[in-house]
Amino acid sequence: MSAPIYDKVALIGLGLIAGSMAHAMRRGGLAGTISGFARSAETRGTAREIGLVDEVAETAAEAAEGADLVILAVPVGAMGAVAAEIAPVLKPGATVSDVGSVKQAVIAAVGPHIPDGVHFVPAHPLAGTEHSGPRAGFAELFDNRWTILVPEGADRAAAARLERFWTGLGANVEEMDAAHHDLVLAVTSHAPHLIAYTMVGVADDLSRVTDSEVIKFSAAGFRDFTRIAASDPTMWRDVFLTNKEATLEILGRFTEELFALQRAIRTGDGEQLFDYFTRTRAIRRGIIDAGQDTAAPDFGRSGRTGGQK
């Protein structure tokens, strides 16, 4: 096995993403030592019980001290406070990164706390499931998924080292600027999640459809909405509050498209509906062809999946 890419990696936050990183790091021999911290004492206890990391710290600063790579795996709204806490103990030459689904807000919150001589390379692994917590992680989560690096102004050697790390975790890596990242994710993840939450909420509000009927007769479409809507509420609250502009822009376009489809249904314009569905079906085929999902029954979701977050 090759030498570790980082002697010590600190994971601040021990949920699905950080837990999966720990498993994948061990699989690939990417870190000499893995330390971790979670705000919840219960989560720290679980992490110790299952041996998720080598060292479970009692504070974020304790976990980060002496680390060559520090990963902020906390909700976007908490990243600034965590960065301020760990800043005094960060090792010169260390790299600080994150796994947040929004990049402009993370850079604004974390960037001012990064000391001179420490490299800040924001990142976002486009992988996840609807499950959360330290027991939810698994080594294969990032395999053939994309991780986006946003190394705006970062040291190139530090960015290249982090790219090797993510490749070692199994991911494909691409660089992007922060504003473009936030717009792309508003299309591919943020707006779809909001629509899923809304659709499940609509079903909940319809008194003509009882709870038992919603559960009993959930066809594939609604069932997939509920899978997405089961995602972590804190994370998604912070995503929408910190990526307002891009999400609202995409929701505005979605509303326009929805009105056009409403009009086609109302006027009986079958040709427009058929053409529209044909175009959108091709996008689904492209996702499957790119290896980002499977055409298997139930979308291959009978087991673990790495759906985008």
One pLDDT digit (tens) per residue for the chain, 309 residues: 568 999 999 999 999 999 999 999 999 999 999 999 999 999 999 999 999 999 999 999 999 999 999 999 999 999 999 999 999 999 999 999 999 999 999 999 999 999 999 999 999 999 987 788 999 999 999 999 999 999 988 999 999 999 999 999 999 999 999 999 999 999 988 888 888 888 888 777 765 656 666 666 666 677 777 777 777 788 888 888 999 999 999 899 899 999 999 999 999 999 999 998 898 888 777 777 777 766 665 544 544 444 445
Residues 159 and 229 in one domain: no
What is the Cα–Cα distance from 14 to 17, expressed in whole angstroms? 8
What is the reported pLDDT for 217? 67
Please say whether the beta carbons of 8 and 64 come within 8 A: no
What's the CATH code of the domain at 102? Answer: 3.40.50.720
- The residue out of 112, 147, 176 marking a domain boundary is 176
Domain holding 240, by residue range, is 180-268
What is the reported pLDDT for 306? 42
Residues 188 and 42 in one domain: no
Residue 69 domain-assigned? Answer: yes
Q: How confident is the model over 12-40, as pLDDT tens digits?
A: 999 999 999 999 999 999 999 999 999 99
Residues 151 and 186 in one domain: no
Residue 298 domain-assigned? Answer: no
Residues 162 and 186 in one domain: no
What is the reported pLDDT for 300? 46
CA distances from 125 to 7, 36, 178 (A): 22, 19, 14
Residue 275 domain-assigned? Answer: no
What is the Cα–Cα distance from 208 to 237, expressed in whole angstroms? 29
What is the Cα–Cα distance from 30 to 50, expressed in whole angstroms? 20
- The residue out of 145, 176, 207 marking a domain boundary is 176
Residues 163 and 15 in one domain: yes
What is the reported pLDDT for 305? 42
Residues 96 and 135 in one domain: yes
Residues 154 and 189 in one domain: no
Residues 71 and 12 in one domain: yes
Residue 143 domain-assigned? Answer: yes
What is the reported pLDDT for 207? 55
What is the pTM (predicted TM-score) of this model? 0.82
Residues 170 and 193 in one domain: no
Residue 63 domain-assigned? Answer: yes
CA distances from 296 to 220, 227, 299 (A): 13, 17, 5
At 175 the three-state DSSP class reads strand
Q: Which of 116, 7, 127, 132 is nearest to 70 (CA)?
A: 7
Residue 44 domain-assigned? Answer: yes
Q: How confident is the model over 58-99, as pLDDT tens digits?
A: 999 999 999 999 999 999 999 999 999 999 999 999 999 999
Residues 18 and 137 in one domain: yes
- The residue out of 122, 141, 176 marking a domain boundary is 176
Residues 68 and 91 in one domain: yes
Residues 20 and 121 in one domain: yes
234: enclosing H helix or E strand:
helix 233-242
The number of distinct structural domains making up the chain is: 2
Burial 249-282 (b: 16+ CB within 10 A, else e): ebeeeeeeeeeeeeebeeeeeeeeeeeeeeeeee
